[in-house]
Each structure stands twice: as C-alpha cells, then as structure tokens.
Copies of this chain bind each other. A is one copy, B any other.
Amino acid sequence: MYQKYIKESEQSRLSMMIKKYVFGNPYETGATVLPVEPAGGIPERFRFAAETGTFSYTLKEKDLVFGLGETVRGINKRGWIYVSNNADDPEHNENRISLYASQNFLLVDDGTECFGVFVDNPGSVTFDIGYTDPDVLSIHPEYNDTSFYVIEGETPAGIVGTFRELIGKSYVPPVWAFGYGQSRWGYKTAEDIREVAAGYKALGIPLDMIYMDIDYMQDFKDFTVNPERFPEFADFVREMKAEGIRLIPIIDAGVKMETGYDVYEEGKAKGYFCKKENGEDLVAAVWPGKVHFPDFLNREASDWFGDQYQVLTDAGIEGFWNDMNEPAIFYTEDHLKEVFAQIKEFEQKELDIWGFFEFKDVVGSIANHPEDYRRFYHKFHGQKVRHDKVHNLYGFYMTKSAAESFARNCPEKKILLFSRASYTGMHRYGGVWTGDNCSRWSHLLMNIQMMPGLNMNGFLYSGADIGGFGGNTTEDLMLRWVAFGIFTPLFRNHSALGTREQELYRFERKEDFKHLIELRYALIPYIYREFLKAAETNGMYMMPLWFAYREDERCREVEDQLLVGDALMIAPVYEQNKTGRYVYLPESMRMLRFRAYNDYDSEVLPAGDHYVKAALNEVLVFLRPGCELPLATPARHVEQIDEKQLTRIIFAKP
C-alpha cells in the first residue's frame, strides 16, 4: 500500500539509508510499513556474539545515545540498562529497567557521525548502554528472532525522519484532544462527573474532556455502563457534550468471566481468548476479578473485540484510553493455587528467617509473575505463539483493534485513542500516556525527559498524568507540572483513588491555575500546527536542544530544556521551593515570562547562561530568532477558539 506512493528514486534513497539484518525467524510485528530487503551478515558497526545472541558496539567517548521512548533517567540514555518488557510497575524510579512501553529505536551521535538502530523483536530485549561496561552498548534479545535495522543519515533529525518513514505516519487525534482533560480513578456516578464539570465551569477554567476510569462500568466489565450510577448514559454523554465536554471512557484488556455477559459468552464461544498449552482459556485476575484475555494478535478476535467499542461510540463517545494491556496480571488462577499450596508448606515447617523471606516473596511476587507470561498462547498469523515471545505486542494490538474498528465502523468520525502499553508501530493507531506515575518532582522531570524519546519513536500524542497518579500531590508540584503540561499534546490531570484530590479548582491558587490552562488554550493554534507538521513530515514535536544546535558542545548535556515545534524552547521549573532556574541559550532568544496569556514579560536575552526568575505562577517560553508565536484568545473549549484572531509575538532575526 504505502510503497506505491514512494517514487523509485526515493525507494532507492531509503534503501541506501536503511539496512535490515535478519536473525532467526522474526515475527511480522507490524512495526514497520516500508519493505526493506535484508542485507546479509552482521549489522554495520556491531559485533555479534552468536553464542549469546548479543550485538555490541563500542561507544566513542563523545557518543550520545538517544531514544528508547518511555524509559527512566535522562534524555541521554548512556550509563544504564533497559529491558523492553512491558510492565505494570507504578514505582518507576530511576533504578527501574522496564516500564509500560517497548520502543526499540536508539540513536547514537558523537556530533560528527550518527546512526540509528531499531530492534524489531516483540519479546524481551535488553539494552545495556554502558551499564556493564561504560564503553559498550550491547543489545540482547531474549529470543533472537529479530529484524535489526541500522539507519544512516547526516543528522539526528534526518535519521529520525528516515526511521519514521520506515515505521509509518504518526496518529493524529481530533483537535479537541489538544484541550485540557480532567481524570480521576473514583468518579463513581454521573453526579460526580457533573460536579467536576461544574467546578471548572464556576471558575471559567477551560476543559474539553472528562475521563472515566473503571468506576463507570458494571463490575468492571468492558463495554458496560452501570445503569444505576449512570442512568441513560447516551443522554448523559449528550448533556456533557452540550457543556462542551467529551467523556472519555477507559477500556481494560481483560474480559470478566461471567455467565450471561455477552462479550464473555461470545468470546468464549468463538475461541477468541488466549489459551493455555492444554487448550483451555487462561484464567487471570484483574479489576473485574477473574478474566480471560482477548487474543488481539488473532485477526478475527481483534476485529470482534474492536467491534465492541460500538456500544459506546453509538452512545456518542468519541474517545477511549486502553489500559491494563501489558497485560497486567494481578494473579492467574493456576499460580494462585500454587501459592496457597506453598503457603501450607511454609506454615507446616518451622520458618527460619530465610524461609520467612521466601514466604513473603512468594506472596509479594504474585502480580505480573514472569512465569504467568509463559502460561498462555496466541494465534498469530495463524501460528500458535507463546505469549512471552510476542509480549510487547499485546497493548499495540489491542489499540490497533480499536483503531481499525473505528476506521471500519465510523470512518466519518475522528476518535481519540491512546494506550498504556505500547510497541513501535502502535504510534500509527493511537497515542500513549506514560502510565501510573507518582506525585513526585522527579516524575515531573521524568515526564520532561521522556518526551523526546517518545517522539523519536513516533509517539507524538503523548503525555504523563499531570500532578501524578499515585501518592499525594502538593499545590506547588501541581502548578509546575501543569506549567510543563501546557506543552505536551496529551494534557491530562489524573490521579488514583485514595490520593489527595487534585482537580485544579480544589487548590488555593485558583486564578493561577486558570491562567495556566488559558495559556494552553492560547497556544493551541501553535501546538496543533507544530504537531501536525511533525506528524506529516516525520519530525519531532518535542526535541532535545542538541538536535537543533549540534555545533554547540554545551547542548550535549542540556536535558531540562526542550524545543517545542520550530519556534519555541521551554525551560520548565521542576524543583520544589524554587522561584528561578538556570537556562542555557545556544543563541539569542526572546524570553517570554507568562503569568497569563495576556500578561507576560518580554526580554531579548543573549546567547549563553542565564539565571532566570520564574515564580510559581509563571511559565518561561523562549522564542527562537526569526520566529513568531501566534496566541489565540482562550476559549472554554478548543472548538471555540477563533484561529483567525491571533496575536503574534515576533522575534526578528537580530
């Protein structure tokens, strides 16, 4: 399909720049859209140890390593070890090796020579980037059935562009999805949601979406709505939309086992659930209790599941978030039985202290137990495939299932869709949020530092849970996080049941929050334009400074400032009790210190280092030379913004 649009000469150019090396029998993952003829031999620049299946490259002293999308630590990935193995782990501190996503593109650049690597392998892949040996990058797939791509180019941005041609264009959500969204696990009734809408409305804080977490369902059953707590759901959707607010429900991967529940009955009858070795459907437990996992990798099962979304789109729903699709497993029936049997043994013997630790560990490791991911199978391209070998595709294929059904069932509508788990290739079908983070300053910084890697891997519509999902937020953290979130395409405040409530109208500094959200809305013409440009040209919406200022050595290490589109640089404050920060300017820029979209200081700063004041209610934006920033008058909802009435702030090339 795709290739017919590419002229032959262009194809030949791409074939020069993308080298593909095949090891074993790689699965057709769907990560790529360009056919590339495999080259023989070993990937250029790499050594390959056949006995261990490890690819290694000797890092040059000045090599920077970018990429890997949603991972911990800084923008430069050197110095740590990462394992692509989608994992439901909300405690994602800097020592974690796996998060919710597997985005296996890396870019290596020492300032004069650069190249990209993409490891298309949906099982576990370890990237040891100078962790074991500071000077060695090694890549080790658990099962070496791999398409290994090396991408050549003159510049980091050029290589990213070529890689993105390989993997296809990024998902573009409807324009209203660039508005602000409020979410919380714990909105139990239509009344709760009305209160949230009213809270924002009373203060005139713009709001486009309210998200519905698992609470809306009947017993956490996908595609059901609790009729007591949400009576006349379609009417309620209409009512909220009349208020300018779209409801965005969650869909979880597991289907509750319950006699009479149509999705369960039909999936079971048609054999669409993942099966154990013995052919029985796997019984796992997540929010609904015992569930089966739909086999999204099975074409028919995928189509069938995708069609279920119609129950909600028919009720007027225009957006979804797919969750728990690593898949998260609280326990499997089989494993829990084993655990109880082990506990009995522990109880019968006099526990010494090591026995006690074993006992604690047996219980503590029930959730997402590695063994459970080897207990079930998919029917993938007609073959029976054990889950762990294609683990990282599960969330991708769930999201693809939904996106394809929307294209099939309501092609006239643009549907918002994003997912927790992901794999490269999913970026064509939906966005991602970065999973269950916490209300920590370090997670705000992580949010900043994850964005360029996500963009490289094609995930343009992305963002974190603003304010933090787990744990208790504070007002200052919230202010700073919103001030950064203004610039992330997905801009959602989300928190967990039992944590401090963090809807913006609950805080003291209501006006400040209002001004911040209004600033987002004033920026939407710019944000949307730059987002579309990145999507259409395979560019990056958020970029490290280094990509644009590669002649400037200082930019190698700038990891707390980002370029946003072509015109702006941002420098968020991400530390507690700070009213200013250092900013490095690779060239002269116009600094805008926004207190509100229509209240800001403007000052031209020379290239170099600056210590810049930024109070809790201020947002620092830097306009690059020769650029202009259009600002709209904010509206309560995106679709009310008048794109024709724009104020322009200009910084003429000096």
Q: Point out residues on A near B: beta carbons under 8 Å.
A: 73-74, 76, 78-80, 91, 93-95, 131, 133-134, 285-289, 330-331, 336, 340, 343, 347, 351-353, 356, 359-360, 363-364, 366-367, 438-442, 471-472, 474-477, 508, 554, 557, 559, 575-580, 582, 584, 609, 611
Contact = CB atoms under 8 A, between A and B. Distances in A.
Given A73-B576, A93-B440, A131 B474 contact: yes
Given A363-B364, A476-B134, A557-B580, A356 B343 contact: no
Nearest to A65: B577
A500 B151 CA distance: 34
Question: 4 closest A-B pairs (Cβ-Cβ)?
Answer: A363-B363, A76-B577, A582-B582, A95-B471
When all copies of this chain in the complex are counted, the total is 2
Contacts of A559: 577
Nearest to A78: B577
A508 B134 CA distance: 9
Contacts of A472: 95
A353 B340 contact: no
Contact of A576 (B74, B440, B579): B74
A93 B95 contact: no
Contacts of A474: 79-80, 131, 134
A439 B95 contact: yes
Given A93-B440, A288-B353, A363-B364, 9 more contacts: A74-B577, A91-B91, A95-B440, A134-B475, A134-B476, A360-B366, A554-B611, A557-B577, A557-B578
10 contacts: A73-B576, A78-B577, A93-B440, A94-B441, A131-B474, A134-B476, A134-B508, A289-B352, A442-B442, A557-B579
Contacts of A336: 351
A183 to B, nearest CB: 20
A285 B352 CA distance: 9
- Point out which of A78, A95, A134, A356 has the most chain B C-beta atoms below 10 A from its C-beta: A95
Contacts of A285: 353, 356
A195 to B, nearest CB: 22
A363 B440 CA distance: 27
Contacts of A73: 576
Nearest to A94: B440
A359 B364 CA distance: 10
Contacts of A353: 285-289, 330
Contacts of A557: 577-580
Contacts of A576: 73-74, 76, 78-80
Contacts of A584: 611
A471 B91 CA distance: 14
A366 B364 CA distance: 11
Contacts of A95: 438-440, 471-472
Contacts of A611: 554, 582, 584, 609
A79 B289 contact: no
A456 to B, nearest CB: 17
Nearest to A353: B289
Contacts of A475: 134
Contacts of A609: 582, 609, 611
- Point out which of A441, A576, A577 has the most chain B C-beta atoms below 10 A from its C-beta: A577
A347 B356 contact: no
B347 A340 contact: yes
Contacts of A133: 508
A199 B331 CA distance: 47
